[in-house]
Structure 1
Amino acid sequence: MAAPSGPVPGRRRSELGEALRACRNAFIGVGIMSCMINLLYLNGSLFMLEVYDRVLPSRSVPTLVGLIILAGGLYIAQGILDVIRARVLVRIGTSLDEAVGHRVFESVVRVPLVAGGNNDGLQPLRDLDNVRSFLSGMGPSALFDLPWLPLYLAVCFAFHTMIGVTALIGAIILIIITLLTEVLARGPMRDAITLSMRRNDLAAASRRNAEVVVAMGMTGHHTRRWGKINDEYLADNRRSSDVTGGLGSIAKVARMMLQSAVLGVGAYLVIHQEATAGIIIAGSILSARALAPVDLAIAHWKSFTAARQSWHRLSKLLAALPPQQELIRLQPPTQRLVAENISIVPPGTQKVVISDVSFSLDAGHGLGIIGPSGSGKSSLARALVGVWQPARGKVRLDAAAIDQWEPDILGRHIGYLPQDVELFAGSIGQNISRFDPDAKSDDIIDAAKDAGVHGLIVGMTNGYDTQIGERGSVLSAGQAQRIALARALYGKPFLIVLDEPNSNLDAEGDEALTRAIRSARDRGAVVVVIAHRPVAIEGVDLLLVVKDGRAQAFGPKETVLGQVMQKAQPAPPPNPIKIVAEGGVAKS
């Protein structure tokens, strides 16, 4: 996996921007439809103008019928265009999701490996949902309609200058309200999203550790912690809603007052014979229509602000985690694993947990790694399989550094059993085959037999088709660990790294583990086992002792174990020296 690099200004466009640019023809179509829709919005005011100024004075029923037919046809056309525009915007949102959705999911998976796990892991997916929902809603329609406000104001000025000035004053008031909404709602919205992420993190952690939380009486403490964060979240959310809702109500009232003001101005003009009765009604309708997009924009400002913040977060994330480059596909490794002076710094920290560790393992070798807790053994395992990149040094398979492989291709040659076993909702067979849709039944069964778990699986009601539930909830810890071992052995990978593989195993499971390690070595695999219990390293021939992040000893297992045992034996106390004092009394 190549280490992510930050965006280089001026060299790379936003992936989200590129995805939207791919929809530019659709946006052009939406713009054209918005033009036609806004022109058709003049239909209602012109119809009222003609009815009051032409039909009523002439009492012409044929004219009225003709106007009704014409206005009805235009209304139908407007409705059709409005429906089409809404459907196109929904498809633009869907297209954006389809274009970057897989990248966002990949980033969700990769973020903990490069930045640590101190974040809401699912927030990028929620951000994508926010952007898609906004694009598919009424917000963009308001934005497309806003540029037509000058047209309606121009028509109002054409009716009479005073009507135009009245409408212009109303437009300025609503624009000021819009700007206030942006300024006052931005901070509370940002804080609410941050608190929402913290709240979700705590809830997810409590759910994962439900047994510990309940058994040790921590439910009340966690509930109070969650409640405190939730109260802060609700307060910020309430402030942002109060701003948008309050200013939205003010905007609505201002628009209604403006409409009445235009009627009053029109009536004044009619009294002084400067306008006709039709202009009163038409001017009122037009002024209301001119300000409707502003009113709609304020009503949807909260979703617009949320979508904009989501857009910025997604853009930063995708820029920090660029797509994996397509690399030359190397031949499968068959000869050796080499660690060259590797030093490891866990993602999101500055602490070096492994410093300058080197060793070389040829095909068929088995290495046991032992050492006290916190010595960096699991960190070393993560570097060997490529999920963490060494801060210094290289891990090589057959002389090629592992970052020269694409992760999905490299994964076919690696079997990994982490310390914390995690299975996925699905069948046992799917979990063993790593959810490969092209997996062959024989390969799945071979992996299960290699792990010594075939008999256990076929003894279940549905055998390999048994559904294990979310996180493997229907299995015991030992069963889950043995199935995870079969997953690590699936496809007969060249490098197999097992981190505490027998932590939940009984004596039968320990024996199956030893057989699996020896069988993998016999076929030419390199096996690395991290262990605290001596039984886990029975199947290896080499041993590495790690302490405080540094290699203390490396070599044949018996030799290294002898050195370790010798160092562990306490030094004998010094022999007392007897001194004969005067008077024949012995003193020591």
Structure 2
Amino acid sequence: MTTNTKPLQYGIGRARGIFIHLFCLSGVINLLALTGAFYMLQIYDRALTSGSVSTLLALSVLAIGLYLFQGIFDILRSQILIRLGARLDSQLAPLAHTVAIEMPRYGYSTSEAMERGRDVDTLRGFLSSQGPIALFDIPWMPIYLAFVWLLHPVLGLLTIGGAIVLGLITLSAELMTRRSAQSMIRTSVTRNSVADSNARNADILHAMGITGRAVDRFEKANRSHLECQTRTSDISGTLSGLSKVLRMMLQSAVLGTGAYLAIQGDLSAGAIIASSIVTARALAPVDQIIAQWKGIVSARRSHRRLAETLAVIKDTSGQVELPNPHQSLVVDNITTVAPSSGAVLLSDVCLSLNAGQALGLIGPSGGGKTTLARSILGIWPVLRGSVRIDGADLSQWNEDFYNRHVGYLPQDVSLMEGTIAENISRFAEVPDARTIISAAKAAGIHEMVVHLRDGYQTELGPHGTALSAGQRQRIALARALYGDPFLVVLDEPNSNLDADGEEALSLAIASVRQRGGIVVIVAHRPSALQAVDMVGVMQNGRLVAFGPKDEIVQPNKVRPLVVERTASAERPARAVAAE
């Protein structure tokens, strides 16, 4: 699969240039940070010894001006980092969310998918913290070490030794938190998965009295996550506290050593104060890095996962836009496996439909009907073979093709939070009222919708729970029919319909056929086959029969054969997951 790395490369390229400017800006800030040391050095060694008030005033005015410049540059650096985080978020968040939407199709849980979006938040939050500032300051430590060395080599060696010790503590933090940080991620995903499952099944938990058990499951997962988080925080906190103590001890050691050297006549009083100030400034970035280590590790992990995430986005920039489909659907010897387990769900399935035909897929539960429907739509990629529309493989059609020429009604109906009109129009930027009403009439729900208090502007709420199951299914049918798509795939479209709904469904299928579209229906109830002309029988992941409805659906012919095979053959494990 080709990758769409242009937005990522552009964002990283621009960020790299900004980082270079920030590095140079940090150099200026760190040079200005020597103001306090020089000020103390001049005050004690020049102004006090000379007794000149004018010298004291001049040095003070100069120091204030340099401090102001340092503060302005420091604020500027912080604001640049904040805006850099916001820019990267605006560029990467939509791409990461695209992958998060796709991940459940490949067997990942919803919680794992949503982690990709949280990676962008983590990276943006890190750029707004003190972590990057400490990282930018670290390379300029030699300035302070050289300054202390120039004051006296002994003080320089002492400061360098302290920097090495703090560096070893930082390395220890990396080694000790690596494993626990990985465990914390796994337990976080598990906890979020349990929480998401409980929220989605709230009605079942309440109706069957198992809310307490569900809470116990969450509590157990949360406890494991807290244990990992506590362990990681303990390590970081311990090393951070140790580094602060060592830094204060080192600063005191520099003062004591400086006093000894001053007593011996090798150092001035101003140099003692200056060396103490510079030593503290030199080791402050290391101390900050240790304190921010958990955030640094999280940002590094998020950056790595974002790179992996964005690398799988398909590059569609060079795709040639094909003409509108109007001829055929061909399933050419496809084999499909379960994304999560790799178990074979479909084997060597072949069929061909022309414009104006409707196929009804029947067979026992677990036979592979829903898997075939998902394969036709590209929801589950095929392992071998191909699905072609008007001779072109699905990979050659861009996303706009699916938006305009494909309609899908899934087995588990789910409407998005928004109005009825927005759901039917698939959240079009400029919805066409006539097309919305036409789709609603095709699904037989126009009268139902206009009798609602807010009509087409009725807010459905989360998952469309404001409506009944039958109403949701018919709105989803209208969504599938919106814009007169060429290919319409309906998975058990009449599972929640009454007699009026089934009649409207049959009329909708007939209408698609009359305008030259193709319909594929997964059916368990015979009434769904009224408007089809072709029937396929799925069993154990294979298409065991395919042809005109009058030839396939005969009481004394195929049905007894299917029942006999179902009863006698051992159903493989792969068929269980097919539905």
* TM class by smaller structure: over 0.9
Distance (whole Å) between structure 2 residues aligned to residue 183 and residue 568 of structure 1: 61
Per-residue deviation, 1:69: 0.7
Q: Which residue identity does 1:504 align to in structure 2? A: N
Distance (whole Å) between structure 2 residues aligned to residue 118 and residue 529 of structure 1: 27
Per-residue deviation, 1:13: 7.7
Match of 1:130 among 115, 122, 125: 122
Q: Which residue identity does 2:345 align to in structure 1? A: V
Indicate yes or no: 2:267 matched with 1:275: yes
Match of 1:464 among 456, 463, 468: 456
SS in structure 2 at match of 1:122: helix
SS in structure 2 at match of 1:337: strand
Q: Which residue identity does 2:541 align to in structure 1? A: G
Partner of 2:91: 99
Distance (whole Å) between structure 2 residues aligned to residue 197 and residue 167 of structure 1: 44
Indicate yes or no: 2:190 matched with 1:198: yes
Matches within 5 A, 1:349-428: 349-428=341-420
Aligned-residue CA RMSD (Å): 1.8
Match of 1:171 among 137, 155, 163: 163
Q: Is the 8 A contact 1:481 1:504 kept in 2?
A: yes
Match of 2:526 among 534, 544, 551: 534
Distance (whole Å) between structure 2 residues aligned to residue 200 and residue 119 of structure 1: 6
Per-residue deviation, 1:477: 1.0
Partner of 1:212: 204
Match of 1:507 among 499, 502, 508: 499
Match of 1:312 among 301, 304, 321: 304
Distance (whole Å) between structure 2 residues aligned to residue 15 and residue 163 of structure 1: 50
Per-residue deviation, 1:217: 2.9
Q: Is the 8 A contact 1:14 1:315 kept in 2?
A: no
Per-residue deviation, 1:95: 2.1
Q: Is the 8 A contact 2:361 2:537 kept in 1?
A: yes
SS in structure 2 at match of 1:121: helix
Per-residue deviation, 1:522: 1.3
Q: Which residue identity does 1:114 align to in structure 2? A: Y
Per-residue deviation, 1:99: 2.5
After superposition, the C-alpha distances for 1:516-552 in whole angstroms (9 at most, x for unaligned) are 1111111111111111111111111211111111112
SS in structure 1 at match of 2:112: coil
Match of 2:32 among 34, 40, 52: 40
Partner of 2:488: 496
Indicate yes or no: 2:61 matched with 1:69: yes
Distance (whole Å) between structure 2 residues aligned to residue 554 and residue 42 of structure 1: 84
Per-residue deviation, 1:152: 0.5
Q: Is the 8 A contact 1:116 1:346 kept in 2?
A: no
Match of 2:540 among 548, 551, 554: 548
Q: Is the 8 A contact 2:29 2:70 kept in 1?
A: yes
Q: Is the 8 A contact 1:15 1:315 kept in 2?
A: no
Q: Which residue identity does 1:564 align to in structure 2? A: V
Distance (whole Å) between structure 2 residues aligned to residue 13 and residue 104 of structure 1: 12
Larger radius of gyration: 1
Distance (whole Å) between structure 2 residues aligned to residue 340 and residue 273 of structure 1: 93
Moved more, 428-437 or 505-514: 505-514
Residues 191 and 17 of structure 1: is their aligned pair in 2 closer, same or farther, counting only changes over 3 Å? farther
Match of 2:19 among 22, 27, 36: 27
Per-residue deviation, 1:208: 0.7
Indicate yes or no: 2:272 matched with 1:263: no
Per-residue deviation, 1:196: 0.2
Distance (whole Å) between structure 2 residues aligned to residue 332 and residue 568 of structure 1: 38
Partner of 1:586: none
Distance (whole Å) between structure 2 residues aligned to residue 16 and residue 400 of structure 1: 30
In structure 2, runs of 5+ residues without a counterpart are 565-579
Q: TM-score, structure 2 length as denominator?
A: 0.94
Q: Tell me how many residue pairs correspond in the alignment.
A: 562
Q: TM-score, structure 1 length as denominator?
A: 0.92
Distance (whole Å) between structure 1 residues aligned to residue 28 and residue 544 of structure 2: 78
After superposition, the C-alpha distances for 1:237-287 in whole angstroms (9 at most, x for unaligned) are 111111111111111111111111111111111111211111111110010
Q: Is the 8 A contact 1:425 1:467 kept in 2?
A: yes
Residues 270 and 568 of structure 1: is their aligned pair in 2 closer, same or farther, counting only changes over 3 Å? closer
Per-residue deviation, 1:24: 2.4
Q: Is the 8 A contact 2:5 2:310 kept in 1?
A: no
Indicate yes or no: 2:336 matched with 1:344: yes
Per-residue deviation, 1:100: 2.2
Q: Is the 8 A contact 2:36 2:63 kept in 1?
A: yes
After superposition, the C-alpha distances for 1:201-258 in whole angstroms (9 at most, x for unaligned) are 1110111111122222332332222222221211111111111111111111111111
SS in structure 2 at match of 1:480: helix
Match of 1:88 among 71, 80, 85: 80
SS in structure 2 at match of 1:23: helix
After superposition, the C-alpha distances for 1:307-340 in whole angstroms (9 at most, x for unaligned) are 1111122222222444345311111111221111
Distance (whole Å) between structure 1 residues aligned to residue 538 and residue 24 of structure 2: 69
Moved more, 296-305 or 353-362: 353-362
Partner of 1:575: none
Matches within 5 A, 1:508-587: 508-562=500-554, 563-567=557-561
Q: Which residue identity does 1:111 align to in structure 2? A: M
Distance (whole Å) between structure 1 residues aligned to residue 24 and residue 563 of structure 2: 86
Moved more, 57-66 or 70-79: 57-66
Distance (whole Å) between structure 1 residues aligned to residue 307 and residue 468 of structure 2: 42
Q: Which residue identity does 2:85 align to in structure 1? A: G
Residues 14 and 231 of structure 1: is their aligned pair in 2 closer, same or farther, counting only changes over 3 Å? farther
Moved more, 393-402 or 456-465: 393-402
Q: Which residue identity does 2:198 align to in structure 1? A: S
Partner of 1:442: 434
After superposition, the C-alpha distances for 1:57-88 in whole angstroms (9 at most, x for unaligned) are 22211111111111001101000000000011
Per-residue deviation, 1:569: 8.7
Q: Which residue identity does 1:216 align to in structure 2? A: M
Partner of 2:447: 455
After superposition, the C-alpha distances for 1:458-477 in whole angstroms (9 at most, x for unaligned) are 11111111111111121111
SS in structure 2 at match of 1:373: coil
Indicate yes or no: 2:236 matched with 1:228: no
Q: Which residue identity does 1:313 align to in structure 2? A: R
Q: Which residue identity does 2:197 align to in structure 1? A: A
Q: Is the 8 A contact 2:111 2:192 kept in 1?
A: no
Distance (whole Å) between structure 2 residues aligned to residue 509 and residue 362 of structure 1: 27
Per-residue deviation, 1:345: 1.2
Percent identity of the aligned residues?
47
